[in-house]
Amino acid sequence: MRIINIRLGRPAVVTLALLPFIAALIVYAVASDIRLTANPADRLLPAPGTVLTTAGQLLSEPDRRSGDILFWQDTWASLQRLLLGVGISATIGLIFGLLIGLIPVARALLAQFVAVVSMIPPLALLPILFIVFGLGELSKVVLIVIGTLPFLIRDLSQRVLEVPQELVVKAQTLGASTWVIAIRVVLPQMMPRLIQAVRLSLGPAWLFLIAAEAIAADAGLGYRIFLVRRYLAMDVILTYVIWITLLAFVMDWGLRTLSRKAFPWAEAGL
Amino acid sequence: MSFVTVENLFQSYGRRPIIERVNVTVAEGEFISIVGASGCGKSTFLRLLLAQETPTRGEIRINGAAPAREPGLDRGIVFQRYSVFPHLTVRENILAGESFRRGWGRFWGAERRDALARADETLARIGLDHVADQYPATLSGGMQQRLAIGQALVARPKVLLLDEPFGALDPGTRVQMHDFLTELRTQTQMTVFMVTHDLGEAFKLGDRVLVFDKVRWDPQDPNLHGATITYDFDACTGGIPFQTLKEDIHVYHTA
Ligand SMILES: Nc1ncnc2c1ncn2[C@@H]1O[C@H](COP(=O)(O)OP(=O)(O)OP(=O)(O)O)[C@@H](O)[C@H]1O
Ligand SMILES: [Mg+2]
C-alpha cells in the first residue's frame, strides 16, 4: 500500500502527535544530565526538576522589594502591549483592506504605497520610534502596529478582491450603495479572513514585542528574559519561554475556535 | 411598443470584437431566450444589458430612458453560480432584496417585522420555507437557484436577466424550475432575457429565441469578427420553431 493512503485511528494519531514532544523532553533531560555529571555547577542546561521548582517559585513568591509577583506583572504588561498593538493593527488593516479592495480609486492611490512600505524592516525603525515616542508603552505598541499592519492590509485587500464579482453586481441590482455593499456584503465575508490573518500576525507581533522589551522596558516577559540572561539564569529563561509559547498557542487556538463558532457559513464553503 | 431597445451594439475587448451590430427591440413582458455557441458573447450581451460594462459603440435603452451607466434596481440578474450571499441565511437573503436599497442596508423595528412577514410569504411561494434559517451552502443547486430568482424578484426589477440559471441542474429539477419560472412570470409579467445551452428549454420558455453566431468567418483568424443575432425565432405557439414572415406576401391575401 502506498504511504499516502495509510490512514490512522484516533489513538494512533494522538500517540504520534505526542511523540516529538516526548522525544524533545528526553533529549533535553539526557543532555542536561551529561553536563551536570561532568560539572554539577553547570548552569547552561538545568535539570528538568530544577526548572519546575523555579517555575513554582516564580508563579507564587512575591518580589521582596515591591511585594508583587513579578511573573504575573510581566505577563500582564506584555499581554496589554500585544493585544493593544494587534487590536489597533487589525482595525486599521480591516478599514484600509476594505478601501483598497473595494474602491478602485483607493486602490490606485494606496496599493503601491503599502507594497513599498511593507518592505521596510520594522526593527530598523525601532531607534526612531524610541526617539519619537519615548521609551514608554507607546513606542512598543507602535512597533507591533508597524510590524504587522502592512501584511494585514495586503492580505485583507487581496481577500476583498477575491469576493466573487457576481455578489457585488448582485447587490447593486438590489439597489445597494457602495456603503451598503461594504458593510453588508464585503465586511462580513472579510471577518473569517481577518481572524486568519491575525493568527498569522501573532508570531511577528510577539517577535516585535520581545525585541522592544529587551531594549527598553521596566516590566514584561521579554524584559525579564533579557534581564536574567546576565546571571545565566537558564531555569528562569526556560520558564518564561515555555509560558510565552503556551500563551501564543492558546491565543491561536482561541481565534481558530472563535472563527469556527462565529462564521458557520464559511466552514462549508460555497 | 418597444420596451427594451438595443441599437447598433458593438463590444470589443482590446482589439478583439466579441459582438457586433446587434439590433433588437423587445416588448414589455416578453420572454427572450438567447442561444449560441460557447464563447460567442451571450454573457457579454447580458452584462451590457445589465450595464455592468459599457459598450464600445451603440446603446441600450429601457423604457426610453437614457442608457444606464451602472447596475441598478430596474434590472435583476441570476448568474449560474454565486448569485446568493453565502453569509446570509435563506430568509436574510430574501430580506436583502428589499433592504439593501436602504441607507444601512437593513430594516428596523416594525418595518423589519413587516418585511420578515413578507419574506416568509415569498419563501412559502418559492417552496423554501422549511430551510429559512439555513445558510445557502447547505442547499441543493436547485434550491439555491430558486432562492436567487426569488431574491431578484423581491426587488421588483423591470427586466430580469438569467445567465444559464439551470445549467448545473439535473433534468428532473430543471423541469421543476421551468414550472416555477412560468408560474412566477404569469404573476409578475416582467420582461425576461435568459441565456441557455438547452434548445428545448429555450423554445419551451421563450416567446422569442435569439441565436447569436458569427456571420463572417475568417479561417486564418477566427477571432477577427464578432457575433451578432443571426436568427430571431418566434416561439410563442407551443414552442415549435418557425420564423415570422416579415414581409407582406401578396399571394396569401384573399381580399
Ligand atoms: N473582461 C473580458 N476581457 C477580455 N475578454 C473577455 C472578457 N469577458 C469575456 N471575454 C471573452 O469574450 C468572449 C465571449 O465571452 P462570453 O462569456 O460572453 O461568452 P458566452 O457566449 O457567454 O459563452 P458561454 O456559453 O461559454 O458562457 C470569450 O471568448 C471571452 O474569452
Ligand atoms: Mg456565458
Please give the domain boundaries of chain B with CATH numbers for all domains. 2-85+159-254 (3.40.50.300)
A24 domain-assigned? no
Q: Is B213 exposed, middle or buried (0-12, 13-18, 19+ CB in 10 A)?
A: middle
What's chain B's average pLDDT?
A: 86
Q: At residue B253, does pLDDT exceed 50? A: no
**What are the grid coordinates assigned to A141, written together?**
505598541
Q: Which residues of A touch B104 (CB under 8 A)?
A: 180, 183
Minimal-distance CA residue to ligand 1 atom 13? B39
> What is the average pLDDT across B41-45?
93
B44 Cβ below 6 A of ligand 1: yes
Confidence of residue B249 (pLDDT cuts 50, 70, 90): very low
Q: Which residues pair with B242 in a beta bridge?
A: B234
Indicate which atom in ligand 1 lies nearest the CA of residue B41.
18
Distance of CA B50 to the CA centre of its chain: 9
Question: Percentage of chain B surpassing pLDDT 70?
Answer: 92
CA of A237 to the centre of ligand 1 (A): 62
Nearest CA to B49 out of B36, B32, B35 is that of B32
CB contact under 8 A, B77 and A170: yes
Nearest CA to A62 out of A52, A71, A74 is that of A71
Confidence of residue B55 (pLDDT cuts 50, 70, 90): very high
A43 domain-assigned? no
Q: At residue B248, does pLDDT exceed 90? A: no
A200 domain-assigned? yes
CA of B197 to the centre of ligand 2 (A): 9
Alpha-carbon gap, residue A113 to A136, rounded angstroms: 29
Question: Percentage of chain B surpassing pLDDT 90?
Answer: 51
- pLDDT tens, residue by residue, B136-189: 999 988 899 989 999 998 898 999 999 999 888 888 888 888 988 888 888 888
Q: Are B177 and B171 in contact (CB under 8 A)?
A: no
Structural domain range at position A112: 72-269
Q: Which residues pair with B25 in a beta bridge?
A: B5
The residues, any chain, with a CB within 8 Å of residue A77's CB and separated by 6 or more, are A217, A219, A220, A221, A223
Which range scores top for mean pLDDT: A29-43, A83-97, B177-191? A83-97
Count how many pairs of residues, chain A against chain B, have C-beta atoms within 8 Å: 86
Q: At residue B239, does pLDDT exceed 60? A: no
Confidence of residue A157 (pLDDT cuts 50, 70, 90): very high
- pLDDT tens, residue by residue, B66-106: 999 999 999 999 998 888 999 999 999 999 999 999 999 89
Number of domains, chain A: 1
Confidence of residue B39 (pLDDT cuts 50, 70, 90): confident
Q: Mutate which of A160, A173, A185, A260 to disrupt the B interface (most B C-beta within 10 Å)?
A: A173
A239 domain-assigned? yes
> What is the average pLDDT across A44-56?
90
Q: Which of residues 5-44 of A touch B (CB under 8 A)?
A: none
- Residue A240: give its domain's CATH number: 1.10.3720.10
Give the one of B72, B73, B138 whose C-beta lies nearest to A268's C-beta.
B138
CA of A86 to the centre of ligand 2 (A): 44
ipTM over 0.90: no
Alpha-carbon gap, residue A27 to B43, rounded angstroms: 64
Q: Beta-carbon neighbour count of residue B244 at 10 Å?
A: 9
A95 domain-assigned? yes
Minimal-distance CA residue to ligand 1 atom 3? B13
A188 domain-assigned? yes
- pLDDT tens, residue by residue, A187-214: 999 999 999 999 999 999 999 999 999 9
**What are the grid coordinates assigned to B21, written together?**
451590430
A65 domain-assigned? no
Q: Which residues of A touch B103 (CB under 8 A)?
A: 177, 179-180
User: With the CA atoms of B226, B81, B205 and B59 taken in that order, what torsion angle do they form, in degrees rounded to the nearest 10?
Assistant: -40
pTM score of the predicted model = 0.86
pLDDT of residue A69: 87
**What are the grid coordinates assigned to A8, written together?**
490512522
A45 domain-assigned? no
